[in-house]
Amino acid sequence: MSTITTEKQQYLTYLLTDGDSQVAVVPERGGIVTSWQIQGKEVFYLDTERFKDPNLSVRGGIPLLFPICGNLVDDTYTLAGETYMLKQHGFGRTSPWEVTQKSTDDGASLTITLKSNDETRAVYPFDFQLDFIYTLKGNTLEQRFRHTNLSGQPMPFSTGTHPYFAVADKTKLIFEIPSTDYKIKGGRDVFAYNGRFDFDQEEIDFAFINLEGQTATVKDGDTTLTISYDENYSTLVFWTVKGKDFYCLEPWSGPRNAINTGDFLLSAAPQETVETVISMTLS
């Protein structure tokens, strides 16, 4: 049985329930998923103190990345001879979204919408509508992202997510990542991945490129996380910080600075909708 209910916490929170699985979505705080519980066990990490402060970016759950993934050099990009500023990961994760549709016909499904406004146009000169659909079916959470260009010229963008997975002991994780090539944040060199991470480092920030498949898995004891993504996603970022009980495995459609370099940059023609899909399953 599927249900969608609301709960007034610091923000209005939508609770999607399907069987023993429940997901919490907070539309006005960047459309973020803050929690995913399966049989009462939490899947995601959330820094609750940062979440309480609306002036801080959220560290936890599933922040939404649009219209860029990662950071730009000097936080700037140039388009049609004009220079604009965009902070890391863009404004999708900091903008208030609106619930526009709910369904419990086939799992619990919630559509949240973000439309262009004066604030977004000041940093990204396009009219657009984003309809992002969360669907919970048992132990699978699907994220279907629809990016509609309402402008009269092509709209370049990158899209992605930044999920924070809770973990008790990172050294026990077993990763299967469909690439052996990665770059370190801020670097151009390509390194060979040997299947392991050195968790004694203060920070690990690897961008896996040349993906040879559309699925990654992480085994944590008797639990396996499977992340699947469609062909629009070219980059898979692994990020963690020493001493913190989380790791991030992030599907990005394009690498850092793609809006300047054009590397794997997506584009929606006028009045076109570009749809991308990410799915997560716990087994």
Query: What's the pLDDT tens digit per position in 26-75?
Result: 999 999 999 999 999 999 999 998 888 888 888 999 999 999 999 999 99
For the entire predicted model, the pTM comes to: 0.96
What gap in Å lies between CA 230 and CA 114, rounded to an integer? 22
CA gap 274, 283 in Å, rounded: 30
Q: Which two tokens stand for residue 120?
A: 């977004």
Report the pLDDT value the prediction gives residue 53, as an integer from 0 to 100: 86
Quickly count: other Cβ atoms within 10 Å of residue 12's Cβ: 14
The C-alpha atoms of residue 61 and residue 248 are separated, in whole angstroms, by: 10
* Residue 161 near residue 278 (C-beta atoms within 8 A): yes
Domains of the chain from N-terminus onward: 2-282 (2.70.98.10)
CA distance 130 to 112: 8
Confidence at residue 9, expressed as pLDDT on a 0 to 100 scale: 87
The amino acid at 80: A
Query: Can you name the residues that pair with 218 across neighbouring β-strands?
Result: 175, 225
AA letter at 23: V
Return the pLDDT at 188: 87
Q: Which residues of 138-172 are buried (b: 16+ CB within 10 A; e: fewer)?
A: ebbbbbbbbbbbebeeebbbbbbbbbbbbbeebee
Say yes or no to pLDDT of 77 above 90.
yes
Distance CA 12, CA 160 (A): 24
| Predicted confidence (pLDDT) per residue in 188-205, tens digit | 899 999 999 999 999 999
